[in-house]
Structure 1
Amino acid sequence: MLKNLLAVGVIGTAILVTGCQTTPNAAAGIQANNLSLLQSKTWYLTQIGHTEIKTTADRNTPTLQFDQSTQRLSGSDGCNRIMGSYTAGRDTLTLGPVASTRMACLNNGNIDQQFNEALAKTANYQAYGKTLKLTDRHGNVVLQFTSEVPQQ
């Protein structure tokens, strides 16, 4: 009887210890996957708020790139080159001050101004497949991008 009780105790302890071993952190895996989708590719603007952006051969397409190694963002607002810093988490995106060139752009429908205003509202991101959505703190999409090169 004592041997059976001891055997059950040893087996129970072994199961308990095995069950308490650390497992890979699922949240860390999700964050790494989200960051890999966000970073190291060029994102082409398709939408500002609810307005679809059509690109044409005579207008520059607003773009963003997130460099993982330097934590810097770069791109174009459709008129000027932009650059700045960023910090990204699992789904959060904090943009540092964004600097830009100051070229005069005519007949671009104020896309550059709308783009920069929306970019300033960014608080989160959703990246999946070939789509990137930047959202404000309330979850509203402020900018949407694709990683597919637009046909001009």
Structure 2
Amino acid sequence: MSQPDAAAALGASHWDLVEWTGKTAPGGKRLRLDFDPANHRFSSSTMCNRVMGGYQAEGSSLKMGAGRGTMASTMMACPEPAMTMERAYVDALSAVTGFSLSGDRLILNSANGVTLTYQAAYKPAASAPRKFIYVSAETRPCTGVAPMTCLQIREKETDRWQLHYGPIGDFEPEPGIEYRLRIIEEKVDNPPADASSIRWTLDQVIEQRVVSPAR
């Protein structure tokens, strides 16, 4: 793969950590890595925080934290063992010296033999419009092609709840939590007959609150 093609491929997907030499990729916690080829910047969730910085990719070589030579991070504290895992992950990113792409996998290599393997995940177009919605703490039975369970959504707090028959990509609601989300809305070309022509993907959780069940 040529360097322009490789650079484009790095930025075309989200990358979710699935394997880590000598470590266990944290179950239930998605460590997602993103590249911005236009600005030569990367960012990644860690365990409780995010790390970001410049990067340099040339051929199959890759240096994270390039440019100014450092990485910046948010500074939220979290309990052990998450904090120790977070430091180890940031250290692993700092030691990366090269990369390879194979199908839907990205493998980051370091001089000490440690590898980080990521699975590609769908990444919406940067130009896709954003919108805000509320998601109810309660789901409801509904019927699409077959009986299913639907989220309830609305755009304003004063609106009535409406059933939402499709998924919201990257959104994993917890029971009893009401959310306000910023979502990315895209049109789907030639959707299947039983699927929506609109795709929603989570952009950001704006706020969330615990809702007591109705008695």
Q: TM-score, normalised by structure 1?
A: 0.68
Task: Give ranges in structure 2 of 5+ residues lacking alignment.
Answer: 123-169, 173-215
Partner amino acid, structure 2, of 1:92: S
**What residue number does 2:60 align with?**
91
**What is the CA-CA distance between 1:106 and the residue it aligns to?**
1.4
**What is the CA-CA distance between 1:117 and the residue it aligns to?**
1.3
**What residue number does 1:104 align with?**
77
Matched, 1:122 2:91: no
Q: How far apart are the structure 2 equivalents of 1:75 and 1:84?
A: 9
The answer as to whether partners of 2:13 and 2:121 remain within 8 angstroms in 1 is no
Percent identical residues: 26
**What residue number does 2:45 align with?**
76
The answer as to whether partners of 1:119 and 1:142 remain within 8 angstroms in 2 is no
* Count of residue pairs the alignment pairs up: 120
Partner amino acid, structure 2, of 1:39: G
**What is the CA-CA distance between 1:151 and the residue it aligns to?**
10
SS in 2 for 1:86: strand
The structure that is strand-richer by fraction is 2
How large is the Cα RMSD of the aligned pairs? 2.3
Matched, 1:44 2:16: yes
**What residue number does 2:120 align with?**
147
SS in 1 for 2:100: strand
The structure that is helix-richer by fraction is 1
Could you give the per-residue CA deviations for residues 114-150 of structure 1, whole angstroms, max 9, x where no partner exists?
Answer: 1011111101011122111110136x24311111378
Q: How far apart are the structure 2 equivalents of 1:144 and 1:64?
A: 11
Give the counterpart of 1:132 among 106, 109, 131: 106
Task: Give ranges in structure 1 of 5+ residues lacking alignment.
Answer: 1-28
Does 38-47 or 76-85 show the bigger shift? Answer: 38-47
The answer as to whether partners of 1:121 and 1:142 remain within 8 angstroms in 2 is no
Could you give the per-residue CA deviations for residues 6-33 of structure 1, whole angstroms, max 9, x where no partner exists?
Answer: xxxxxxxxxxxxxxxxxxxxxxx62222
Matched, 1:35 2:7: yes
Evaluate the alpha carbon distance shift between residue 125 and residue 42 of structure 1 in structure 2; reply closer, same or farther with a 3 A threshold: same
